[in-house]
Structure 1
Amino acid sequence: MEEYYWDTQLEYIGIMRDLYYNDDYLEFLVNNVWKLSKPIHIIDFGCGYGYLGLKLLPLFPTGSKYTGIDKGQQHINKKKELFHSLPYETEFFVADTNEIELESKYDIAVCHAFLLHMSEPQKKSFKKWLVQLSNRGKVICFEPHWISGLSSYYINGHEQSQIVSLGILQKLFEEDTKRNGKDGNIGVKVPQYLSELGVENIECRVSDKVNFLNPNVTQKDKEKLYNSLKEDGLGEVPSHREAFIEGLKNRGVKLKEAQEQYDAELLFSQVFNIDSSLIYAPNMKITFGEVKK
């Protein structure tokens, strides 16, 4: 059996996801926006090792239940280990989220940074998932909008345009989506997709998390954030120049643009280090609505 890629990325996923949300903002959503006052049963599509469940279950009303579905056996094994000693009723399935058949009994369906890895999810995934919800159940999608995240970097001493070339990156994302149907900017499009499927009372929020790598804090605090940023791909050294440029040309980029993009990524990798003063806001989009049956 072919190895499932994300099964090999447990450490990476665990380190980097703290970059995206403040716990008090999630609590605000649960209590003041979604107004969850009674126990609910939540189903998490593409749950990974259960990050979202670990974040949300302590905020949900007592007696809430959690179901996680993921294609990776190692993810589910890790999830069972993490949840074993916690006071929550849980169940886990190793399955393809587009193929599993379940009862329409769930109060909330969620996904986190999952749709961007799926080809054209609006044509299949959403329809499949909405069926699992009970009447007036909520669908909640935590998904990225890469280009807005990339516009929210600042490293002291350098103009943003020197290290992140937004124009070429936006073009690359759009062309890649046309080629393979996978969309790193899907977070900003989810409201439209849900509307087309008849979901009601749709709203979209943005995570308030802003990461500040401050050279004046303790070494331990710097290392924690710096390692998370590096795992998220920030300041990564680009591959061999000729191979990098050729790869971009194969994706429809002109030679000059490819050369400039290489130079920008190389500069970022050279100036970004643990003692940098850097601000980064991921701008994760959180879209939600209700399903009426």
Structure 2
Amino acid sequence: MVGSGFQRLRKSPWEILSSAIFSSILVVSSQLALAMVPHFFPSFSLVSMLPIAGVVFVATVVIGRWCRRLLGVPASAPAFVLFNVFFLWGVYICIIRQAVPSLLDAILNAECALLLFGLYRIFSSDPGMVSYDSSRSTEASCNGFSDFSQCENSSLFPRVRYCTSCKTNIRGFDHHCPALGNCIGQKNHRLFMVLLTGFVIAESSYTMCSTRYITRFLNTSRVGLEANLSLNMVISTMLFSILQVLWQVVFLMWHLYCICFNIKTEEWINWRKYPEFQLNIPAPAQQGSAFSEIRFFNPYDKGFVGNIKEFLKPKH
């Protein structure tokens, strides 16, 4: 009998609702905390505010996690990501949009809409879950292992890795992404790269639009409580976007490197777990040692062009 593969762990409707509500509260709290940075440090430059904003944001998230555990509310990193997108888009529409040209306004709104669509697609995508045969022959060949990569006949499951978070085997498994609540594997790796690039572009566009608003605000020299609150919110969300871009660019560069050399993140970190990446180098005879040296060897590397073609090739 051939099964349809493992399914990701499902939550009850109450767990989904409670985690979504808590995530929305955490987003608003963290963004309001960030808005206090320009309020209390108005004389600081944006560069000086950036590390302070990073510390404030991390501290707020840590406190939020502590409160979540205290209240027994299940975590939902995807909801946190989703509500942050909605929050920044809302700040843009309500405040920043008035200082942005029509063409740039249309571009940013399109980028936000595409981000939401991309998040929906990757939240619900199949990363490449592997069906398995529950017959005696398969059980014998795998010695009861649920992780196919640990089977004696692991060649039957090339580049299939086990995700401990989803409790399933994924073909072309790169990593489990907590922020997206899904594994990144053979079937959704390209979507993940497009989405990651989209975040960098959208947040960079948001930063550019925020700069236009701040410049216009300073030139007009408006005063009043409402204007100051608006300015602080724009500055704080811009700092948030810059912080996101900084780590996302590094993350994007890493994944581009992996694509160019046809190596997965999981394989690079844990290559000693997988025999195909181990090259035994015998010890020189003159040293009189019986031990051989194990070095890393990538059997899947087809050259720069070949690796990129394989990544772009449609996956079924």
* TM tier, smaller: under 0.3
More strand by share: 1
TM-score for both structures, normalised by structure 1: 0.25
Structure number with the bigger relative contact order (C-alpha 8 A, sep ≥ 6) is 1
Structure number with bigger Rg: 2
TM-score for both structures, normalised by structure 2: 0.24
